[in-house]
Amino acid sequence: MNETIMVVDGETAIADLVEVYLKGEGYTVYKCSTAAQALDCVKHHRLDLVILDVMLPDQSGFALCRRIREDHLFPILILTARVEDMDKITGLALGADDYIAKPVNPLELVARVKTQLRRYIRYNKGVGAAMPQAYDIRGLQISKASHRCSLFGEELNLTPLEFSILWVLCSRQGKVVSSEELFEAAWGEKYLDSNNTVMSHIARLREKMHENSRQPKFIKTVRGVGYIID
């Protein structure tokens, strides 16, 4: 295991604790206490995943997440003491892949890191050769081999998780995919009834595709059932 993780947290004790557990799993860890340090680290090191706190001394973690996501596709996990649903939706909408509330359970954090890295590596390297590796649906083109997606010739800057969600929907074109199926296929985790993560990511995908949420042309909501690309 040689994946590299950046931990961005103004609280030294938390950053140190996270570092201990991640290094115990064989990861290389860079620690930053400010957004400025984090951006410098991103510029000079190859990273596979970022864990960042919302409350930083020089900039909001949300703003840092948005800045990083402009140029990079690796998973971003947000750490925060806030638990309000709107804060979670904000983080996910800005490109975060997961949201973990403080106080941090180190074992849960490590488990989520492993899940995100497995997904990121799998969808960047591609798996299997029997299934189609690309789809073209009315101008929406998505390729698993190149991990690229475009709409009417305009490339879409998708996170690995957003790509995964769209790939699942395209691969099941014409079939309704329930929120539970979509979550378990894209996230690789057990779906929770109260989980609104799928809805948040679908909204973000539609935004990137310049879709009217009330009358989408591609990702359509089948009320009470799930989502479909027909």
**Residue 227, pLDDT score:** 92
Task: Kindly report whether the peptide bond that precedes residue 57 is cis, defined as omega within 30 degrees of 0.
Answer: no
Q: Look at residue 130 and tell me whether its pLDDT is greater than 60.
A: no
105-118 per-position pLDDT tens digit:
889 899 989 988 88
Q: What spatial distance separates the first Cα and last Cα of the chain, rounded to whole Å? A: 40
**Residue 125, pLDDT score:** 52
The CB density around residue 28, as the number of other CB atoms within 10 Å, is 16
157-184 per-position pLDDT tens digit:
998 889 999 999 998 888 888 888 888 8
pTM higher than 0.85, yes or no? no
Q: What is the distance, to the nearest Å, from the Cα of residue 109 to the centroid of all Cα atoms in its chain?
A: 15
Q: Look at residue 135 and tell me whether its pLDDT is greater than 90.
A: no
